[in-house]
Amino acid sequence: MAWFVAAWSCLLVVVMVSSMRLGRSSSSSSCGGHGGDSHGCGGWGPRSYPVIGCLVAFYRNRRRLLDWYTEMLASSPTQTIVVDRLGARRTVVTANPANVEHILRAKFANYPKGKPFTDVLGDLLGMGIFNVDGELWHAQRKLVSHEFSARALRDLEVTVLEAEARDRLVPALAAAAAASGGVVDMQDVLRRFAFDVICRVSLGVDPGCLDPALPAPRLAAAFDTAAGIIARRGAAPVAAVWKVKRALDAGSERRLREEVGVIHEAVMGLIRSRRKERALLLVNGNGGDGARSDLLSRMIECGYPDEAIRDMVISFIMAGRDTTSSALTWFFWLLMRHRDVEAQVLDEIATTRRDRGAAAGEDGEGEGLDLDDYRRMRVLHAALCETMRLYPPVAWDSKHAAADDVLPDGTAVGRGDRVTYFQYGMGRMEAIWGADAAEFSLDRWLSLPHGGDGAAAASAAAAFAGVSPFKYPVFQGGPRTCLGKEMAFVQMKFVASAVLRRFELRPVDEGRTPAFLPLMTAHMAGGLNVTVRRRTPAASGGAANGTGGELTSS
């Protein structure tokens, strides 16, 4: 009862503050030529009223926010809208590439993540790189840039991918193929695979999430539960409610505290044991001979304190556990709807494998592919890019203005305003991608110039670099550009090749169009249930159906 009374008290405060704020906004804004449902004082957006703002329209569209925002952005002359509602700060939402570049690069210092963002994620991510700004962010970025460029970490990813695919992913799908009519949720399989990979690369431990012989790891369950509660915090119409529950240690906030405790205890335990291991190596005079290559161990080598290491590795687990699996889930679904594209991808995989076998002096198909082989795969790269254009792993990203500003399209931004660039909507804007923006088409990528015959030009990523990151901000842009971009593409191409050349996937429900759920990382509502069949050698371009290594280090 006490938390209920406290929550209502906070709500009354929110009403009073919102009333004063909206009153100031109304008196200082002009209403020029913006009427109807998509217009209002202070900017293009949903119809607003005194005190409650656009709360009525927001409530009506609460189950279709992505499509609602996309429709309003498409109707706006500037692809920008202003959303002002009770219980939330004024929000500028944009799908305008010029605005995105302004936010992410030109005025980067004026658009930090901000305290409202870090408050939501702080209990889980602490002071990790994805939840800090300013000098602390710069210091962590410098460290992580060095680590991600290190050959040892890239080689470790390759080794882990090979082992996880050989020992778990391929056998799991083979077992489903052997069971007549067996159904597999590919989204679940891919999430488990990704969690195993990111834990082995970040922590140096194997949780065995995809191993049916092992019990479900407690750490994976803790991350799932914590991420779900954090996502609901971010989507809450009135932030004061979850903050009151946290202060009173009630309901979902108590559960969050417990799950974060499980995560912290597990990671801190690993840090302590790894420090002891390192001390023993030094005592025995082995120096760096037995040093591990995982991110946690490398940070210990750099001399960082325990809590900083904990927050950093938790941040990278959160970033890597669902992003690639989300993209791959939608990739496989789209290929099942576009068998012509699947055939093109299969042909490229088979050709690349034949070339690798010939280059290595092997007879017939090559057994493994190296990093350069994957970098040259333009069709597969285009299919993945097109998938993420329509179904980005992160649907939107928000910053908070440190000072008053005006965006390139003329939209006024006040100090403290939330400014959101909307990747999901940008992928559907005809103003950006043309009249066929809603279609799944590889031509928009494959039509880009190759740029010559050199090693760099042969890279699909180099060829597609002509697409501005501010037009396609799936991996952000500017100083915060995703450091794990190349590693993500390696993992996605690896999995796509390993699965497609061996197995044919068919959707259980051919007519279903799944819903896109924008949680912390986007998910496919209801999963991706498929039947699995072995692909014949002829259908896969003669590729071997064994479970040998998919990738070797270059």
Is residue 302 annotated as involved in ligand binding?
no
- Nearest 5°: the CA angle 379, 381, 383 is 70
How far is residue 343 from each of residues 280, 352, 437, measured CA to CA in Å? 54, 14, 22
| Helices of type H across 360-484 | 371-375, 378-390, 423-426, 430-433, 443-446, 455-458, 460-464
Positive or negative, the Cα torsion across 144, 150, 154, 159?
negative
Residue 238: both structure tokens together: 């009135």
Amino acid at 410: G
Residue 307: both structure tokens together: 């809590």
How many Å apart are CA 55 and CA 40, to the nearest integer?
14
CA 60 to chain centre: 28
How far is residue 259 from each of residues 64, 123, 287, measured CA to CA in Å? 30, 10, 37
Residue 447: both structure tokens together: 């039509």
CA 456 to chain centre: 26
For residue 81, list its beta bridge partners: 93
- Nearest 5°: the CA angle 193, 494, 530 is 55
Q: Identify which of 386, 390, 392 has the alpha carbon closest to the alpha carbon of residue 344.
A: 386
Per the annotation, binding residues for heme are 482
Per the annotation, binding residues are 482
